[in-house]
Amino acid sequence: MSAPGLLSRAQLRTSYLDEGSLPLTAESARELINPVRGMARAWRLLLSLVVLLPLSVVAVFALMIQIYHARPVVELASFWLSVPVWHTLLGGFVLLVCLLRRELRAVLLFLYVVGHELTHAVAALLCLGKVRRFRVGLDGGFIETNKANFFIALSPYFVPIWMLLWLLIFWLINEFHPSDEVQICLYTGFGFWCCFHIYWTLWVIPREQPDMIENGVLFSSLLIFLLNMGMLIAVLAFFGIITAEGYCSDFLYAARRMMHTFADVGELLRRSL
């Protein structure tokens, strides 16, 4: 997202060319050299290096420990053939097939752009802002709002809006008309939209998104990674591969190991000096 009153663009390009960028206006130039914005970026960089980066390493380490301990579960055929797991994987396979067809890929790209800008708009409304313009197309999209913060700017990268809508719809259907068919549709769609979010997020992030540049690429990348990691942990816990209690325990263990490692390195450097 850009500053209040400016267009916020999520330019989805198929290359790294800057052919779709907006020209640098005098107002934009003043924003770039604004000392307040510069100080905010410096604080975000410091936060990224001191907090978000260590948290990311610890989160991955803890997840690896949990997955290692989950081997007795995932080695069972009954686990893979269960309705939730089997149909979630089936949904991911359906997405893969769709991505291999050019015409279907274009439709999926358009759906991603719509969801991306819709998430921006919902986030702006949640922050008590107003959405003045909303545009989507295969070449990208943007919204214009009077609010700007990192939550509004980065929300499409960690909020899988289509997946959440799908789960809400079929959860309501299952509440009033429970059946095996509804369960199958629920999990198949969940797998499809979950993989949809992962694929297009990974596809769009390297394409120099203004949303991320505005808030600092390192800060944005680490925050997006951590929040998506949280979603992955929730999914794995739901399927019984890991447990929330076990993950928290391993997270604290990994954090202590990292602190001890830093302390040992610091002591080694102190002695060498």
pLDDT at 209: 72
Parallel, antiparallel or unpaired: strands 7-10 and 131-137: unpaired
Q: Taking all residues of the chain, what is their mean pLDDT, rounded to a whole number?
A: 83
Q: Which residues contact 228 (CB under 8 A, 6 or more apart)?
A: 157, 158, 198, 201
pLDDT at 2: 37
Q: Quick one: what percent of the chain has pLDDT higher than 90?
A: 49
Quote the pTM value. 0.81
pLDDT in tens, 179-213: 889 999 999 999 999 999 999 999 988 876 777 88
CA distance 150 to 219: 10
pLDDT category at 9 given cuts 50, 70, 90 is very low
Q: Quick one: what percent of the chain has pLDDT higher than 70?
A: 86
Structural element, H or E, at residue 142: strand 140-145
**CA 164 to chain centroid:** 13
Instruction: Tell me what the mean pLDDT of segment 103-120 comes to.
Output: 93
Instruction: Tell me what the mean pLDDT of segment 235-260 comes to.
Output: 91
pLDDT in tens, 146-155: 888 889 999 9
Comparing 221 with 36, the larger pLDDT belongs to 221
Per-residue pLDDT at 94 exceeds 60: yes
- Beta bridge partners, 134, equal 143
pLDDT in tens, 56-80: 999 999 999 999 888 888 888 888 8
Which long-range contacts does 190-193 make (Cβ < 8 Å, 24+ apart)? Answer: 190/88, 190/91, 190/163, 190/166, 191/87, 191/88, 191/89, 191/90, 191/91, 191/92, 191/94, 191/95, 192/91, 192/92, 192/94, 192/95, 193/91, 193/160, 193/162, 193/163, 193/166
Q: Which residues contact 58 (CB under 8 A, 6 or more apart)?
A: 251, 254, 255, 258
Instruction: Tell me what the mean pLDDT of segment 31-38 comes to.
Output: 59
Instruction: Tell me what the mean pLDDT of segment 233-238 comes to.
Output: 92
